[in-house]
Structures are given as structure tokens and as C-alpha cells.
Structure 1
Amino acid sequence: MGLAADPAGRCGAGWRESLYSAELGQAVCARVAAGASLREISAEPGMPDRTTVWKWAQGEPAFAEGLAAAQGQARTAARVRGRARMARLRAAQLARPRSRGGLATSRYCPDLAEAICERLANGESLKAIGRDPAMPCAATIYHWLERFPEFEAAYVTARRRQADTLMDEVREVGLAATPKTVWADRLHFDTLRWLTARLAPKKYLERLVVIQAQAEMAKADEQGPLRVVVVSFTSGPNGESLVAPPRCQAEADAWVRAYGRPYDGPGFSAGQVGPGGWEADED
């Protein structure tokens, strides 16, 4: 049985918008500014999936600017909520009993555990959180992970969300790179990408990425200026990790398995994967 069509002739439950329009772009930006993730937005009926949103950002400068502004608003709102939460936690800690050393006791507190997970999901490191006087030290946090299963489950979820946050930052670093800053930006880019792959290896890990990067840099030194190719990472409907644009035949084959056709989005150039095979034709 096929999917029911809406009045415009589009499919029902499984339909996803792929054509850009200013109205839909504004709706996506409004949802992002309100704090919704692209994963949550893509699950809503009639909204584009994450891959489509990134394609729009690459091809529509006005949408890319609006999306970046919306993400900035969401991060600002999250920081404001975090400061308010921390103010409440500090007030609560002042009222708690003190140990002989003068520090607040390290008894497990659900509110503190929630604040730790929220800050992790927003991209902070565990050491940075542990240095905050209002938070337990890193050793105490690890102790809580061993003793409280509910905190461990929330912590694992927060680390997965942190990987998505860092991947968004990876993309911003790549798009902001200029010929003057490319070497410093590349170090920042590679560090964030490595952290992201460590946090969510099934989703973001690139096998042999170090060897490939070294080979590319050596080749660039011998043959001419370094060419930086910015790629994005996503998941297909079959759950397989995808790279856009694909850089090798294996990544090109992954798009065929996921969508039944070769990748045909932006980013093709000579030497990259094209719809007809590995080497794209030069003009």
C-alpha cells in the first residue's frame, strides 16, 4: 500500500521536503533558534532532513546566514539557562553542610547531575566542569557514574549530544577558514573532528584519516598549494554513515546503498566522486 498523498499531491508520513523555499527556511531557523536540534526538526512532518538542511546552507547564502544566527541565539539561550541553574545550585550549596576542609560535601544531587550533563552536551569538557567551584570535582563525578545508574545513562546521552555539538562547530570552523588562517584552522578542525569521532565512533569515525591526511599534505608539498575540501557527515535512512561529498569509491557506494542512486549534491570537482564513478571529469 502506498503512502497517502496530501492535497498538494505529496506523500504523507514518509514525505520530506527537499526543495528550498524562503518560508520553509525561515521555519527551520525559527525552530533552531527556539532550541530544537536538526534531528528533532527533521522528525517533524513536512520538514527537511538534516542532509537537506546542510545542502541548503551550502547553496543558499541567505539561509546559511540565518541558520548561523539561529544557532547563535540557541547557544546564548542555553548559556542563560545554564547561568540561572548555576545560580540556584550555588545558593543551594551555600545552605549545605560543610566538611572539615571547608568545601561543600560531595553527596549525590540530581540537580547537579542534570547540570553536569547539560554542560557536557553543550560542548564543555569534564575537567572544565570540575574546576567550577559550584560543581563537584571530576573524581566525584566519576564516583557518581559508578554508583548511580540513572546518572550514568544521562551521562552517556549527554556525550552523544556533545558529539553533535562538536560536529556543528567543526562545520563552522571549516566554513570560516580563509587562505590566511587555513593552517591554524586546520589544526582546530582536526582536533574537533578527532574528539567527535572518539565520542561517537559509529557515527563520525573516519578510518585511516591520519594516514590519509599525512599523504595529502605530503602530496600538496610536492605538487603545489594545499587544497582544502570541506565535507559534512550525516546518516542515511538505512542508518549508515555518509560523507558529503564522498571522497573515495567506498563513500560513494555508501550513498548508493542508502538512497539507491549516486550522490548528486554540491561539492564535486575534478578528482572527486561523481555520479558516474570515482573520478569526476575535468572541465
Structure 2
Amino acid sequence: MIGRPCKYNDQLASEICWRLAAGDALHKICNDKHMPSTVTVYAWLFDDSKKEFLNRYTQARKMQAYGWADQIISISDGAASADTMVAINRDRLKADNRKWLLSKLIPSKYGDKPEVEVITDTALDKNKLSDEELDQYIMLLKKMKKDSD
């Protein structure tokens, strides 16, 4: 009996990365008889001699995530033609799972909390503010002081 391949080669690595980028799950890819196990792929990722694979794998995962974002639109558009509550709820679950994954994997783009740049008092040149901007700045300072009391 021939075992599954576990020796690294560029052809397998490229197929894994291309299929990930196209949206396949790693466990699905590794279920194919000609593919290594997921444990082997994870071992390759931690192998210092395979840095190029790690870079390609990371890029493929990013592409996979952007594909999920596209899928959310397709799923949502298709939900309009769903004819049962079961189908509607299935589509909602599929879209919600992808949204949750995106919010965790790429929080800067898909996260719930917007990133806010805070300008401290020392970084703000009050001499360059218009009268309206200066009034807004003073009101904000008063509100912050009131909220902290």
C-alpha cells in the first residue's frame, strides 16, 4: 500500500496555494489522495527551510479571504430567490460565518470596530484651525472633561 505524500515539492505546494486562493478549505484539499495530510502542511509552514511556501501560503489565505467577501455578495443576492425559510436561514448562516471569519482574519478592513486616529493636544496646531474648528475642539475638550468627572 502506498502512503500519502509527505515529502515537500514545489508542485504540491503550488497546488495547495492555488486551491486555497480559489476558496477550497485546507482539509478538503488534503483529503485528496495525492495530497499530504494537513499535519504535514502545517509542519511545512513551520519549517525554516520552506519560507517561500510560508509566504505563498499566507498570500493564498489572503486571497481566499477576499474571495469569501465576494461570496457574501453572491449568497445575499441569491437569498432573494430562496423559497423557504430553511433556505433563507441557510444563506444567512453562510454569509454570517464568512463575515465573522473576515472580521477576525482581516480586522482592519472587515472588523466591527473602526480604527480611529487620535490626535493629542500636543500634536494639534491650534493656530492653523478655523474659528469653527477651534469651537468644535473646545466643545470636545469640555465634553471629555465632563465625561471624566
Normalising by structure 1, report the TM-score.
0.36
Contact 1:198 1:205 in 2 (8 A): yes
Count of residue pairs brought into register by the alignment? 110
Deviation at 1:104, TM superposition (A): 4.2
Deviation at 1:195, TM superposition (A): 2.1
Contact 2:20 2:26 in 1 (8 A): yes
Q: Distance in 2 between matches of 1:200 and 1:130?
A: 25
Contact 2:4 2:35 in 1 (8 A): no
Which one of 90, 97, 116 corresponds to residue 191 of structure 1?
97
Deviation at 1:135, TM superposition (A): 0.8
Give the 3 Å change call, closer, same or farther, for CA 143–164 of structure 1 in structure 2.
same
Deviations 1:212-263 (A, max 9, x none): xxxxxxxxxxxxxxxxxxxxxxxxxxxx88xxxxxxxx9xxxxxxxxxxxxx
Deviation at 1:185, TM superposition (A): 1.6
Identity rate of aligned residues, in percent? Answer: 34
Deviation at 1:206, TM superposition (A): 2.1
Deviation at 1:140, TM superposition (A): 0.5
Residue type at the aligned position of 1:150: E
Deviation at 1:196, TM superposition (A): 2.4
Q: Distance in 1 between matches of 2:24 and 2:76?
A: 20
Which one of 114, 135, 156 corresponds to residue 58 of structure 2?
156
Which has more helix, going by share of residues? 2
Deviation at 1:105, TM superposition (A): 3.9
Q: Distance in 2 between matches of 1:111 and 1:199?
A: 27
Q: Secondary structure at the match of 1:153?
A: helix
Residue type at the aligned position of 1:128: K
The aligned residue for residue 102 of structure 1 is: 2
Q: Distance in 2 between matches of 1:170 and 1:106?
A: 35
Give the 3 Å change call, closer, same or farther, for CA 160–107 of structure 1 in structure 2.
same
The aligned residue for residue 132 of structure 1 is: 32
Contact 2:29 2:35 in 1 (8 A): yes
Q: Distance in 2 between matches of 1:146 and 1:119?
A: 20
Contact 1:106 1:136 in 2 (8 A): yes
Normalising by structure 2, report the TM-score.
0.66
Superposed counterparts of 1:73-84, under 5 Å: none
Deviation at 1:177, TM superposition (A): 1.4
Give the 3 Å change call, closer, same or farther, for CA 175–105 of structure 1 in structure 2.
closer
Q: Distance in 1 between matches of 2:19 and 2:53?
A: 14
Select the structure with the greater relative contact order (CA < 8 A; seq sep ≥ 6). Answer: 2
Q: Distance in 1 between matches of 2:98 and 2:45?
A: 25
The aligned residue for residue 171 of structure 1 is: 73
Contact 1:159 1:199 in 2 (8 A): no
